[in-house]
Amino acid sequence: MEMATWVIGGFFVALGGVIVTQLLNGSINTQYLLYGMRRDGTRYFSPERVQLIAVTLWLALNYLLTVLNNPHAQSLPEVNDQTLAVLGGSQLLYLGGKAFSRFGPVVS
Amino acid sequence: MTSVSGSALDLIAVAAGIVVVLLVAAFGGVVIYRMASNDIDLSRLISEPNGDASTSRFQFLIFTFVIAISFFLIVAATHNFPGVPQGVLVLLGISGSSYLVSKGIQFSDDAGVEDRPPMVMITPQTACVGPKTPPIQFKAEVIRQTNQDVTWSLTSSLAKPGSIDPTTGLYTPPPAADGADAPTSGVVNVKATSKADGSLSDNAVLTLIYG
């Protein structure tokens, strides 16, 4: 069991390391991550994407810290309704912005 | 007799377990190595079909990673599979649904799906050069491609167009001189060509003002 733990743990660490390194050095394309595309093909800086990434990173970090504080729990930590509402709202905002930019009037 | 065969079976079970773990470790090691050496291309891991980075893919990747790591940490600490609360399933559901709806919006329009090939982009695109101009550092970005290396070159009809370092992109203007050695005014093209794909290049234009 110990051996398997080290193997899987090592795999996660190496996988995370490769992905984070490639994200930071540009090997994984992050161009226009925070930009939306309008119907006419032009791009715009997109606040709804910024808030989605901020909320995602905040929730993910919070969740990971909860697990690290109590790794001996019998189940994964529960995600409360308020947190789910924040996530849902954030995703709706993102999707709404994206749909508006694609189907709404072109606003320069 | 029963205890002997029992302990032999235990031994076989442990040996089989070790072999399986080693096989998984070898497989995982090969996958990681090929990712790190770009044999497995991750450049479009979070990209849309048109080449732009995708916010919905990025958040889906983060949530999947965090839940997987959390699951692993609890298994490693307790040696038991943890329960998965409903809230976690809802979280992954929201994240996944958002991703799918986002793709639906994306695919509803040709501009969101049309693939754009890799391209080279030089900065600055133009510059004016005179006798007292210091060396100019050009930079090139190879968009939507892992290998960012380019080769720099100059083309011009001028006798003394200056020089450029083929590796670093540092352009040095021709030194001022008198008489027949004097550089003349004109246009110099600075070209950056991708080392990975020679068909990809971009040009910047230098205007030399001498004399």
ipTM of the complex: 0.88
Query: Which residues 6+ apart lie within 8 Å of A24 measured at CB?
Result: none
CA distance B209 to chain A (A): 36
What is the per-residue pLDDT for A107? 58
Q: What would the mean pLDDT of A18-44 be, rounded to a whole number?
A: 84
Rounded to whole angstroms, what are the CA distances from A83 to A52, A80, B165? 13, 5, 55
Q: How many angstroms separate the CA of residue A82 from the nearest CA in chain B?
A: 11
Quick check: A80 and B87 CB within 8 A?
A: yes
H-type alpha helices, chain A: 2-25, 47-69, 81-103
Q: What is d(CA A67, CA A79) in angstroms, rounded to the nearest whole number?
A: 12
- Tell me whether residues B85 and A78 touch, CB distance under 8 A: yes
> What is the mean pLDDT for each group of 10 consecutive residues in chain B (211 residues)?
69 89 91 90 85 88 91 89 91 90 80 69 90 91 79 92 94 84 89 91 92 73
Smallest Cβ distance to A32: which of B52, B74, B102? B52
H or E segment and range at residue B123: strand B119-123
Residue in A63, A71, A88 nearest the CB of B66: A63
pLDDT tens digits along A49-71: 999 999 999 999 999 999 999 88
Report pLDDT for A55: 94
**pLDDT band at A106; cut points 50, 70, 90:** low
A92 to chain B, closest Cα gap in Å: 8
Mutual angle of helices B86-107 and A81-103, in 10-degree steps: 0
pLDDT of residue B115: 64
Neighboring chain A residues of B78 at a CB cutoff of 8 Å: 71-74
pLDDT by residue (tens digit) across B104-154?
887 776 666 666 677 888 989 999 998 888 999 999 988 767 778 899 999
Residue A31 has pLDDT above 90, yes or no: no
Say which of B24, B56, B68 has its CB closest to residue A7: B24
Condensed to tens digits (0 to 9), the pLDDT of residues A71-99 reads 888 899 999 999 999 999 999 999 999 88
Report the pLDDT value the prediction gives residue A102, as an integer from 0 to 100. Answer: 80
Torsional sign, CA B175, B178, B182, B186: positive
State the pLDDT at residue B110.
67
Q: Which tokens in the block code for residue A21?
A: 């390194």
SS3 at position A37: strand
What is residue A1's predicted lDDT score, i.e. its pLDDT?
67
Q: Do B105 and A102 touch (CB under 8 A)?
A: yes
Q: Are A98 and A36 in contact (CB under 8 A)?
A: yes
User: CB-based contacts of B77: which residues, under 8 Å, 6+ apart?
Assistant: A71, A72
| Predicted pLDDT of residue B107 | 79
- Under an 8 A CB cutoff, do B59 and A34 touch? no
The pLDDT value given to residue B5 = 67
pLDDT band at A47 (very low <50, low <70, confident <90, very high): very high
Q: Is the pTM of this model over 0.90?
A: no
Question: For residues A29, A35, A37 and A38, what is the CA-based torsion angle, rounded to 10 degrees?
Answer: -170
pLDDT band at A30 (very low <50, low <70, confident <90, very high): confident
Average pLDDT of every residue of chain A = 88
User: Which structure tokens are listed for B140?
Assistant: 């090139």
